[in-house]
Amino acid sequence: MKTLKSNLKLIAAALPVALLSTGALAADETIAVFTKNQTNPYFQTVRVGAEAAAKSMGAKVVHYIPTKPDSIPEQLSQIEDVIVKKPSAIVFVPVDYKAMVPGVEQINDAKIPVVNVTDRSAGGKFLAFVGADDYSLGLETGRYLLKEMGGKGNVVILEGVKGSLTNIDRVRGFTDAIKENKDVKLLASQPANYQRLQGLQVMENLMQSHTQIDGVLAANDAMAIGAIEALDGANRKAKVIGINGTKEAVDAIKAGKLLASGDYNGFVQGCIGTMVAIRALRNEAIVTEVVLKPTVVNASNYQPYDVPLDARACPSWADAAAMATKTPTKTN
């Protein structure tokens, strides 16, 4: 549990209006950070990353988070809000990669520079895109599980929310990893909507019809840990992987319950997205695309993840630039 300190930080985050209207800060660079919800720990890592980067570069961060998780109308009205308040730049995670395009176009019309983070928007103009590739994340994490299973056995997939971009690509990565191993049999691929309770219940149901399940590929950590509870409850053993590299997943890896978690690296995404925005404001060199390589967090490499979020440091700009997959094309 985070204590008062991080809660206070959230209060500050919840009061964008108050901060923005404070005259004394008017001269500073203010970065408006848009994320999808307050409930998914992943977006908390993005926000803390953005704050760490801004702090080290002497800029201010203001958060915009829909109170109803992933609400399209709410994020649209927050965009209208932010256009009136005119922050120096925006770091933007669309709640929906298609539905938010008109919102992005409004930001473009208002001439506020904007960096796209996590989910690649289907349209609009951005300084840069910073994200991870869900497909290779699913593929690499899946490959790790199948290698640990000795390339044979029965597996099930727990899918996230049908139709969400992250889910489509992660599940495609999982199934492609399974196809590479002809002795691995996919028994079922069922939705549990990224929910812990559904992860547990769907796994309980699948165990009824399949007496031998050797591996579970879950599209996020909450479902993976729900599945582990189901296995424990039935006194059955299977190797389980999740995705997101959350604190809880790291604890489960340490305890030997979870095999691995594909890291989506929200913290670094928040860092680099914010660094690009601030550097652009200062007319310093930027990169236009960073797609982070997947890291499979497991029992041998979890240590860097086992520190509190606020204690983590952003990568240096040199390291960040080295991760770039695209840089601006020279026009001279």
Give the interface with another protein as residue ranges (CB under 8 A): 1-2, 6-7, 9-11, 14, 38-41, 43-44, 67, 69, 159, 162, 187-191, 193, 195-198, 200-202, 204-206, 208-209, 222, 225-226, 229, 232-233, 246-248, 251
Please say which residue, 39 or 303, places its beta carbon nearer to another protein. 39
Going by the DSSP 8-state scheme, the letter that residue 24 receives in this structure is G
Q: Concatenated DSSP letters for 188-237? A: EEEE-TT-HHHHHHHHHHHHHH-S---EEEESSHHHHHHHHHHHHHTT--
Q: How far is the CB of 118 from another protein (least distance, A)?
A: 15
Is the Cβ–Cβ distance between 117 and 91 less than 8 Å?
Answer: yes
Please say which residue, 121 or 195, places its beta carbon nearer to another protein. 195
Please say which residue, 50 or 276, places its beta carbon nearer to another protein. 50
Q: How far is the CB of 196 from another protein (least distance, A)?
A: 6
Please say which residue, 176 or 248, places its beta carbon nearer to another protein. 248
Q: How far is the CB of 39 from another protein (least distance, A)?
A: 4
Q: Concatenated DSSP letters for 250-308? A: HHHHHTTS--EEEE--HHHHHHHHHHHHHHHHTT----SEEEEPPEEEETTT-GGGSS-
Q: How far is the CB of 186 from another protein (least distance, A)?
A: 10
Helix (H) or strand (E) holding 12: helix 4-14
Please say which residue, 202 or 290, places its beta carbon nearer to another protein. 202
Distance CA 106, CA 264 (A): 29
Q: How far is the CB of 288 from another protein (least distance, A)?
A: 29
